[in-house]
Amino acid sequence: MSAAPATDVRPGHTGPDGSGPAGQPAGRWARLLREFTHGKVGFTLGFSITVAIVLNPIFAPPFTVVLGRSITVGLVLLLAYVLAGQWRQRWVPRWLAQALAVALAAPLATLGVYLVSTGGDFIAFVQHPARVAGFVWISGSALALGLVLALGALVRDREAAVREREAQARSLQLQFQLERAELERQAVDARLALLTAQIEPHFLFNTLANVQALVETGSPRAAEVLRSLVAYLRAALPRLHEGGLPTLANEVTLVQSYLELMHLRMPDRLQFSVSVPSDLQGLRFAPMALLTLVENAVRHGVDPSEDGGRIDVGGCAEGAHGLRLWVADTGVGLSGHGAQGTGLANLRERLLTLYGPHARLELSEHSPHGVRAEIVVPDVRGPAAPAA
């Protein structure tokens, strides 16, 4: 037997015989005793009593003697079965070791019982035909039925092992699915972060270009516009990096601030309205999505128009599980819109990533002139995000 690892040995503590750590022999005996369950012991006693009753009519000794011999042999068979169950599977499988142990223990245990009755005189035992016949009957019955019972128990053990392996396989499969879902979620988050990073400079460069144009024309409103831009950026930029989806109310606030900023830039050429029902503003919504449409309407719709135009932002519930948002402008129409630009392309990809193939971005002509852009997404109702 190999020595126990140093981490398992407590200095100064030995077993009852002083030969090793105190916990190891006790642990082995405890495991062995646990194998002698009430079911196994009860079945062995019942089986032994049944054998004694069946064989008693053909035996000369009293029933108590036959019963004692039968119970003794039965308990020895149980002990052999349990001890063989502790066999380490190196060269012989455990089930084969248990079957061989029962087959060997049956005649040896019966022989031992009869030798006790003769005082250990093997010659006297062999020369007594009745005792030899009894030995054959008891050992044969024990051997045949013991092997059947041992094999039956082994079948049950193997079935239990199969069920345990299946349970472990299901557990591993579930764990794999959970890990795969987590990896997919992380991939989606990384993709959204990349797309948001692309939208952020796109939007900032466009806004700064508008402010630059205002300053270069010497407009007296430049300082007021710049102050509005600083206030807007202070509110907008932190939200780009918050975890999770912000609410639609956050997006409406940004849209309102942006349109007010653009109105300061061209007060006579831009009119706007923002009307999103309050009961929808608690919904989780993709950041910068609605703002991208508004910025697109200003840059490609109203700004190129000689007469300017109007931008109306609205929203409504779409059936029981849908949300529809729109941005309608009276600018130059689809011919001037960047329908295939980076901003709208990224927005389409973000909607697909967040909401799946049912989400869509639609552009259409707006009567009498202009463009109507609509976002349709699944309903993601939920409580508003807590304040930072």
Judge whether 331 and 373 are in contact, CB under 8 Å. Answer: no
- Angstrom CA distances, 268 to 181, 260, 262, 263, stand at 52, 13, 11, 8
- What per-residue confidence (pLDDT) applies to 382? 35
Q: Which long-range contacts (CB under 8 A, 24 or more apart) does 84-89 make?
A: 85/35, 86/31, 86/32, 86/35
- Establish if 223 belongs to a structural domain: yes
- What per-residue confidence (pLDDT) applies to 314? 95
Does 319 score more than 70 pLDDT?
Answer: yes
* Per-residue model confidence as pLDDT tens digits over 198-224: 545 665 676 677 677 777 887 777 777
Split into its structural domains, the chain has a count of: 2
- What per-residue confidence (pLDDT) applies to 144? 73
Judge if 233 and 366 occupy the same domain.
Answer: yes
- Establish if 202 belongs to a structural domain: no
Q: Which of 177, 199, 231 is the last residue of a domain?
A: 177
Q: How confident is the model at residue 373 (pLDDT cuts 50, 70, 90)?
A: very high
Does 330 score more than 80 pLDDT?
Answer: yes
Distance CA 269, CA 133 (A): 120
241 or 20: which carries more pLDDT confidence?
Answer: 241
Q: How confident is the model at residue 345 (pLDDT cuts 50, 70, 90)?
A: confident
* Per-residue model confidence as pLDDT tens digits over 246-268: 788 888 988 888 888 888 878 88
Q: If you average pLDDT over each of 11-25, 93-107, 122-136, 283-297, which comes out highest?
A: 283-297
Side-chain-side CA neighbours of 63 within 13 Å: the count stands at: 8
Length of the chain measured in residues: 388
Judge if 166 and 288 occupy the same domain.
Answer: no
For residue 302, give both structure tokens.
């109203």
- Per DSSP, the residues of 245-271 read --BHHHHHHHHHHHHHHHHHHSTTTEE
- Establish if 191 belongs to a structural domain: no
- What per-residue confidence (pLDDT) applies to 18? 45
Judge if 47 and 100 occupy the same domain.
Answer: yes
| Helices 129-216, 63-85: crossing angle, 10 deg rounding | 30
- Establish if 196 belongs to a structural domain: no
- What per-residue confidence (pLDDT) applies to 270? 93
Question: What would the mean pLDDT of 348-352 be, rounded to a whole number?
Answer: 85
- What per-residue confidence (pLDDT) applies to 8? 41
Judge if 275 and 326 occupy the same domain.
Answer: yes
- 130 three-state secondary structure: helix
Q: Which long-range contacts (CB under 8 A, 24 or more apart) does 111-120 make?
A: 111/135, 111/139, 112/76, 113/69, 113/72, 113/73, 113/138, 114/69
Judge whether 290 and 251 are in contact, CB under 8 Å. Answer: yes
C-alpha 69, offset from chain centre: 57
Question: What would the mean pLDDT of 282-303 be, rounded to a whole number?
Answer: 87
| Bridge partners, 326 (sequence order) | 314, 374
- What per-residue confidence (pLDDT) applies to 375? 94
- Establish if 5 belongs to a structural domain: no
For residue 349, give both structure tokens.
């990809």
- 386 three-state secondary structure: coil
Please measure the distance between the N-terminal and C-terminal CA atoms of the chain and give it in whole angstroms: 64
Judge if 223 and 358 occupy the same domain.
Answer: yes
- What per-residue confidence (pLDDT) applies to 12? 44
Judge if 147 and 275 occupy the same domain.
Answer: no
Judge if 164 and 26 occupy the same domain.
Answer: yes
Q: Which of 124, 159, 177 is the last residue of a domain?
A: 177
* Per-residue model confidence as pLDDT tens digits over 31-70: 777 777 777 788 778 877 887 787 777 776 788 887 887 8
- What per-residue confidence (pLDDT) applies to 339? 55
- What per-residue confidence (pLDDT) applies to 196? 55
Tracing tokens 């109507």 back to the chain, one arrives at 372
- Angstrom CA distances, 224 to 255, 259, 268, 269, stand at 18, 14, 16, 18
- What per-residue confidence (pLDDT) applies to 47? 77
Distance CA 98, CA 81 (A): 5
Q: Which amino acid makes up residue 189?
A: D
- H/E segment holding residue 310: strand 309-318
Q: Which of 177, 211, 244 is the last residue of a domain?
A: 177
Q: How confident is the model at residue 385 (pLDDT cuts 50, 70, 90)?
A: very low
- What per-residue confidence (pLDDT) applies to 238? 60
State which residues form the domain around 352. Answer: 219-378
Q: How confident is the model at residue 287 (pLDDT cuts 50, 70, 90)?
A: confident
Distance CA 248, CA 286 (A): 8
- Angstrom CA distances, 307 to 146, 222, 268, 270, 365, stand at 103, 22, 9, 9, 18
Q: If you average pLDDT over each of 164-168, 187-191, 205-209, which comes out highest?
A: 164-168
| Bridge partners, 344 (sequence order) | none
